[in-house]
Amino acid sequence: MKLVLQRQKSSDKSTLGTIYIDGKFECYSLEDVERPEKIKGETAIPAGTYKVILTQSPRFGRILPLLVDVPNYEGIRIHPGNTDKDTDGCILPGQSQGKDFVGNSRLAFDALFAKLQAAKDPITIEIRSAS
């Protein structure tokens, strides 16, 4: 399974995007801002392709998708949340989007997570910067 996160536009607080699974629209996304230099808890991960595995999250106390081998980052997950306050570099899915916001995140996450659980390995995510 291949996920693509196409980043669209950034504000001074967040970056909005769209997530596709095998070329089909799945949901919207919200991340921290893309920055040339990392600021802990306030910077989106670098564009690139990463392996995704499902593992127990000590922070959230449940199994969540984890992006593997993100340079200079640890614990980057896909999880529910609505604003930049809910992400420390992680990816938040949503069914709708607005300025610095994704809506119905838990519903979007649940639908995405079910597909990830059913997927045959490997799962990858390609993160593309806004053009």
52-102 pLDDT per residue, tens: 999 999 999 999 999 999 999 999 999 999 999 999 899 999 999 999 999
Integer Cα distance of 59 and 9 in angstroms: 29
- Say what the pLDDT of residue 41 is: 85
Confidence of residue 21 (pLDDT cuts 50, 70, 90): very high
In the chain, domain spans: 2-128
Length of the chain: 131
Confidence band for 103, pLDDT divided at 50, 70 and 90: very high
**CA distance readout (Å), 40 to 10, 35, 112, 118:** 18, 11, 27, 33
The pLDDT, as a whole number, for residue 9 is 85
* 69 CB-contact burial (10 Å; exposed 0-12 / middle 13-18 / buried 19+): exposed
Q: Output the pTM of the full model.
A: 0.95
- State the CATH architecture for 2-128: Beta Barrel (2.40)
